[in-house]
């Protein structure tokens, strides 16, 4: 007779729940929901992952929790520190994949740049994550786990005096393409019993998934950044294929609706400056014209960060200066993002991790690069 042995039920990772989910889970296992809040505080304020150390949780409950669930952040494969103090973590996922998380210390704040996907499906030609292809979305635990791991490793400061003051969803992936998990993780970043960051200090950056921008503003209060990179459709489509689906006019209309819903907020437009591609006076004029329609918004100029195999180059310092001056003279709020951590490839667009590409795009790109090298020789 065949004997069927039931598998023990899979343990649940508590990092996958926001506060509401955690309360529901505690109810399901026959506990009072306020216990969930006690445990949440241990997880996010004390960065505790061992139930046995949660001293105000009764012994019986601690034993029960150990049996049915766990607190599982991603594994650190590597923690590199750049000469300017920037940290880059390589965090292991399943099947040999890995993602990257970056911490950027500045005198008055510390910003953590968090990934939302293993790779990215959007294929923006100037981004090294895009060149890696796409594997899968990260779970809520894998997203909030990046903040947890970084907070723990940056160490020795109290919750009130924390080193991570800002989180930007600007790492690997398109966060809006992993909507539910990203929103749940951002609720944990904002929650007082989570990391307790104000809405201004949690920013989601999108390549412009228009319908999801509207959904986002309806579901959570965070700040928005939009990757623009070109102020005319022809060039933007060349740089960012998503522009075919959601052209500039549609994107700006979504930005108008965002501001109408959140009148006191501003949107940051990211514009990566690539030599001879989008950094000329005519491009500045086009951008100024576009920004006139969004007078409360800002432009963040990013000098292009090179990566192996790219066809693009960083703009010359003179052109960067000229571009910024034109915008400033026209009254556009413009910042130039300093390149941080480039001795450890931790700058914008350089995050590559280790991605088992399911789209075959990286193979195609490598093939084109090899052919290009052949033609060039």
Rank residues 207 and 288 by Cβ distance to ligand SAH and give the closer one: 207
Active site residue 100: yes
- Applying CB under 6 A, what is the total number of residues that bind ligand SAH? 15
CA distance 312 to 304: 8
Rank residues 45 and 278 by Cβ distance to ligand SAH and give the closer one: 278
Q: Does 246 bind ligand SAH (CB under 6 A)?
A: no
Exactly one of 100, 255, 270, 297 is catalytic; name it: 100
Count, in order, helices (H) and strands (E) of the chain. Answer: 13, 14
Site string for ligand SAH, 38-77 (x = CB under 6 A): ----------------------------------------
Whether residue 228 is annotated as binding a ligand: the answer is yes
Element (DSSP H or E) covering residue 298: strand 298-303
CB of 317 to ligand SAH, least distance (A): 15
Tokens of 140: 């809520």
- DSSP for 313-371 reads -BPPHHHHHHHHHHHHHTT-EEEEPPP-SGGGT-STT----B---SSSHHHHHHHHHHH
* Interface positions, 270-289, toward ligand SAH (CB under 6 A): 270, 272
CB of 127 to ligand SAH, least distance (A): 3
Rank residues 21 and 309 by Cβ distance to ligand SAH and give the closer one: 309
Ramachandran class of 133: left when φ > 0, alpha when ψ lies in -120 to 50, beta otherwise: left
Q: Which stretch binds ligand SAH (CB under 6 A): 8-16, 81-89, 157-165, 302-310?
A: 302-310
Q: Does 18 bind ligand SAH (CB under 6 A)?
A: no
Q: Does 206 bind ligand SAH (CB under 6 A)?
A: yes
Q: Which residues pair with 348 in a beta bridge?
A: none
Residues in the chain: 377
Backbone angles phi, psi at 73, to 5 degrees: -90, 160
- DSSP for 6-64 reads PPPPPPEEGGG--HHHHHHHHHHTT--HHHHHHHHHHHHTS----GGG-TTS-HHHHHH
For residues 213 and 176, the answer to whether their CB atoms sit within 8 Å is yes
For residues 280 and 318, the answer to whether their CB atoms sit within 8 Å is no
Whether residue 266 is annotated as binding a ligand: the answer is no
Rank residues 194 and 349 by Cβ distance to ligand SAH and give the closer one: 349
Active site residue 142: no
Exactly one of 69, 255, 297, 348 is catalytic; name it: 348
Rank residues 71 and 170 by Cβ distance to ligand SAH and give the closer one: 170
Site string for ligand SAH, 173-192 (x = CB under 6 A): -x------------------
Q: Which stretch binds ligand SAH (CB under 6 A): 7-15, 202-210, 283-291, 355-363?
A: 202-210
Choose, by CB under 6 A, the member of 69, 91, 127, 213 that binds ligand SAH.
Answer: 127
Catalytic residue numbers?
Answer: 100, 348
- Residues annotated as binding site for [4Fe-4S] cluster? 120, 124, 127
């Amino acid at each position: 007779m065949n004997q069927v042995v039931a598998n023990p039920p899979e343990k649940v990772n508590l990092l996958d729940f926001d506060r509401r989910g955690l309360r529901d889970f505690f109810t399901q296992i026959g506990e009072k929901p306020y216990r969930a809040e006690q445990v949440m505080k241990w997880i996010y304020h004390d960065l505790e992952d061992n139930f046995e150390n949660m001293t105000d949780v009764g012994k019986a409950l601690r034993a029960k929790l150990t049996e049915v669930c766990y607190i599982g952040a991603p594994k650190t494969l590597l923690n590199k520190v750049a000469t300017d103090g920037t940290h880059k973590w390589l965090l292991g996922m399943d099947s040999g994949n890995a993602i990257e998380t970056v911490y950027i210390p500045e005198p008055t704040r510390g910003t953590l740049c968090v990934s939302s996907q293993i790779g990215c499906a959007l294929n923006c030609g100037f981004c090294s994550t895009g060149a890696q292809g796409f594997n899968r979305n990260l779970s809520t635990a894998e997203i909030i786990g990046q903040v947890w791991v970084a907070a723990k490793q940056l160490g020795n400061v109290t919750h009130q005096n924390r080193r991570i003051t800002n989180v930007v969803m600007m790492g690997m992936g398109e966060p809006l393409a992993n909507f539910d998990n990203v929103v749940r993780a951002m609720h944990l970043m904002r929650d007082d019993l989570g990391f307790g960051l104000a809405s201004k200090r949690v920013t989601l950056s999108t390549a412009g998934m228009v319908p999801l921008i509207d959904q986002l503003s309806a579901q959570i209060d965070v700040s928005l950044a939009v990757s623009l990179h070109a102020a005319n459709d022809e060039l933007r489509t060349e740089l960012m294929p998503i522009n075919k689906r959601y052209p500039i006019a549609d994107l700006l209309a979504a930005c108008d609706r965002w501001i109408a819903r959140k009148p006191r907020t501003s949107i940051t437009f990211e514009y990566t400056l690539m030599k001879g591609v989008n950094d000329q006076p005519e491009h500045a004029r086009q951008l100024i014209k576009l920004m006139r329609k969004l007078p409360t918004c800002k432009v963040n100029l990013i000098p292009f960060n090179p990566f192996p195999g790219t066809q693009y180059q960083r703009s010359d310092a003179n052109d960067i200066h000229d571009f910024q001056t034109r915008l400033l003279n026209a009254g556009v709020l413009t910042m130039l993002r300093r390149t941080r951590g480039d001795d450890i490839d931790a700058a914008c667009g350089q995050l590559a991790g280790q991605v088992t590409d399911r789209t075959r795009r990286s193979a195609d790109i490598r093939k084109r690069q090899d052919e290009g090298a052949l033609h060039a020789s």
